[in-house]
Copies of this chain bind each other. A is one copy, B any other.
Amino acid sequence: MHRLTQKILEGHKLSVAKGITAIENDSENASELLEELFPFTQKAIRIGITGPPGAGKSTLTNKLTQNFRKLGKTVGIIAIDPTSQFSGGAILGDRIRMTEIFNDDGVFIRSMATRGNLGGLSLKAKETGDVLAASGKDIVIFETVGVGQTELEIVQASDTVVVVLVPESGDSIQAMKSGLMEIADIFVLNKSDREGANKFLINLQSVLEIRLHDKKWFPPILKTVASQNEGIEQLTQEILKHQKFLEKTNLLTQKQTERYKRKTNQIIENELIKFYRNSKLANFELKSSESPYQKAKEIIEKLNLND
């Protein structure tokens, strides 16, 4: 076992950061590290928190983290901010967070921006989760604006998915697509002291009842005002309740197995792409008269793929 692996398993903060950086940079030692850490990644509770921009996900994540800390649980947070490109969100977010939970040794926060992460961000985020889990964090939270495919993939890698909405989302409930309905284990109506909250609640409830009436786990809808710490304790309890439900129904193992299968496939597909990008064939010239389709065919033939 490598020294870095050892140090991460001991929970050494700087080594955890180093390990994550190795993953982000696609360093050579990253895959070996992950392989060594793997047997120790299975204990953490994985929570996905998603919702539209401005729903207050960061604040909610902070308050939830503080609450888990009170229960003696350590927390790792992976914040994926696809809007950072416009707002510098990933950086600003960290600064705001620092003041509240950054100095707590039981919490580790890592922001990942979508920008510049060419390919494989969802795999990297999940692997970062594995590092945090192996370092001994009881809870791993993936927080993301669930607007893109990458973000959805990350959220789906969680055991418990919390979808955060605000009363203003109300207009569009009718149009809300089943995709979101189906991934939510818990709905949170944040900023529920705002006008329209009750109407929103009734609407959402009736839509859910029609769509999900045959589900074994019916997603509860919780009201919170995260900035005031209202409803956070109840959310904590619902998350733990959902975890118990998963354990009892054997769904936790099932989800884990599916997750590992997806991961296996993702590793293989990334390797395939790397194989091509590193091959001499990727270094082709293209004349302005040549068609990309013809060229691609030629190269694929040369790759000589055999089942």
Chain A interface (Cβ < 8 Å from any Cβ of B): 31, 34-35, 38-39, 51-53, 82-88, 91-92, 113-119, 121, 145-152, 169, 172, 174-177, 179-180, 253, 256-257, 260-261, 263-265, 267-269, 271-273, 275-282, 284, 286, 288, 290-296, 299-300, 303-307
Interfacial chain B residues near A177, Cβ < 8 Å: 84-85, 88, 113, 115
**Cβ-defined partner of A288 (8 Å) among B116, B256, B307:** B256
Of the candidates A150, A257, A305, the one having the most CB atoms from chain B within 10 angstroms of its own CB is A305
Contacts A175-B91, A177-B115; is A86 near B146 (CB within 8 Å)? yes
Separation of A112 and B166 alpha carbons in the complex (Å): 25
Are B148 and A82 interface neighbours, CB within 8 A? yes
Are B282 and A257 interface neighbours, CB within 8 A? no
Interfacial chain B residues near A268, Cβ < 8 Å: 276, 296, 299-300, 303
Closest Cβ neighbor of A268 among chain B residues: B296
- Name 29 interchain pairs, CB-CB below 8 A, sorted by A: A34-B293, A35-B293, A35-B294, A38-B292, A38-B293, A39-B291, A51-B86, A53-B53, A82-B147, A85-B146, A85-B180, A86-B169, A86-B172, A87-B172, A88-B174, A91-B175, A115-B177, A117-B149, A147-B147, A148-B148, A257-B286, A260-B286, A260-B292, A264-B284, A265-B282, A272-B305, A275-B307, A278-B307, A279-B307
Interfacial chain B residues near A290, Cβ < 8 Å: 260
Are B271 and A52 interface neighbours, CB within 8 A? no
Known: A35-B293, A260-B292, A267-B296. 13 other contacts (CB 8 A): A85-B152, A88-B175, A91-B175, A92-B175, A114-B148, A114-B152, A115-B149, A115-B179, A261-B286, A264-B295, A267-B293, A269-B273, A275-B305
Closest Cβ neighbor of A275 among chain B residues: B305
**Cβ-defined partner of A38 (8 Å) among B175, B256, B291:** B291
Separation of A118 and B152 alpha carbons in the complex (Å): 10
Interfacial chain B residues near A273, Cβ < 8 Å: 269, 272-273
Contacts A82-B147, A175-B88; is A303 near B115 (CB within 8 Å)? no
Are B145 and A147 interface neighbours, CB within 8 A? yes
Closest Cβ neighbor of A271 among chain B residues: B300
**Cβ of A183 to closest chain B Cβ, rounded Å:** 10
Of the candidates A82, A86, A88, A288, the one having the most CB atoms from chain B within 10 angstroms of its own CB is A86
Interfacial chain B residues near A83, Cβ < 8 Å: 52, 147
Separation of A299 and B175 alpha carbons in the complex (Å): 42
